[in-house]
A and B are shown apart, each in its own frame.
Chain A
Amino acid sequence: KQEVTQIPAALSVPEGENLVLNCSFTDSAIYNLQWFRQDPGKGLTSLLLIQSSQREQTSGRLNASLDKSSGRSTLYIAASQPGDSATYLCAVERSQLTFGKGTKLSVIP
């Protein structure tokens, strides 16, 4: 059974800092990995999707990497802003999407 772990569970940083969120998964036989953003009481917004054959994806200040063989992914956020405050979820897909519990990010002005 696939298990997805996200570390840390919560993170607080001052505005402007660069930061890294970590995701690990137990079964490397995945089709893709996605990073989502979830605001309190809201649904999910897809940030980046990395296919299993890819090693990274970039969108603006976000960069996600994937090391499938070691079962790890990182989400790098550059020059963090208060508007980045949210919970970030990592999910891997094979027969279904399996989610981690998320990292709650707070960016302090």
Chain B
Amino acid sequence: GAVVSQHPSWVICKSGTSVKIECRSLDFQATTMFWYRQFPKQSLMLMATSNEGSKATYEQGVEKDKFLINHASLTLSTLTVTSAHPEDSSFYICSAGDRERGYNEQFFGPGTRLTVL
């Protein structure tokens, strides 16, 4: 089946530092990757849609200069949280679309727990 990995699975950092999260599709090519954020007891909220080789599309209210997304290859997208603050502490989940299966099936990574002190 389609497998998506994320690294790291958890990270703790000091306020003001930047953190990079990787999302990889292990056994398929993902033309589109999605980044979600989930606060405790809340829904997953889409942050941005990342297309290989082009700029990401950000959802309303998500600061593109704070959450930098790079999708340089068909198997890797990265999310960098710049100058992280405690309010950025959350669970970040990526998903990837398999072009062969069609756009509307997404495969989710295991998530990254970010804690900003």
Contacts and interface: CB of A to CB of B under 8 A. Distances in A.
Interface of A: 4, 31-32, 36, 41-46, 49, 89, 91, 93, 96-102
B106 interface: yes
Interface in B69-117: 91, 93, 95, 104-111, 113
Nearest to A94: B104
B110 A96 contact: no
Given A4-B43, A98-B43, 18 more contacts: A31-B104, A41-B111, A41-B113, A42-B111, A43-B6, A43-B110, A44-B44, A46-B107, A46-B108, A91-B44, A96-B34, A96-B46, A97-B44, A99-B43, A99-B45, A101-B42, A101-B43, A102-B43
Contact of B105 (A41, A49, A89, A101): A49
Interface residues on B, range: 20 to 34
22 contacts: A4-B43, A31-B104, A41-B111, A42-B110, A42-B111, A43-B4, A43-B108, A43-B110, A43-B111, A44-B44, A44-B95, A45-B108, A46-B107, A46-B108, A49-B105, A89-B43, A89-B44, A91-B44, A96-B34, A97-B34, A98-B43, A99-B43
B49 interface: yes
B97 to A, nearest CB: 11
A36 B4 CA distance: 16
Nearest to B44: A99
A106 B42 CA distance: 18
A29 to B, nearest CB: 14
Contacts of B106: 97
Interface string B23-42: 00000000000100000011
A89 B4 CA distance: 19
B104 A32 contact: yes
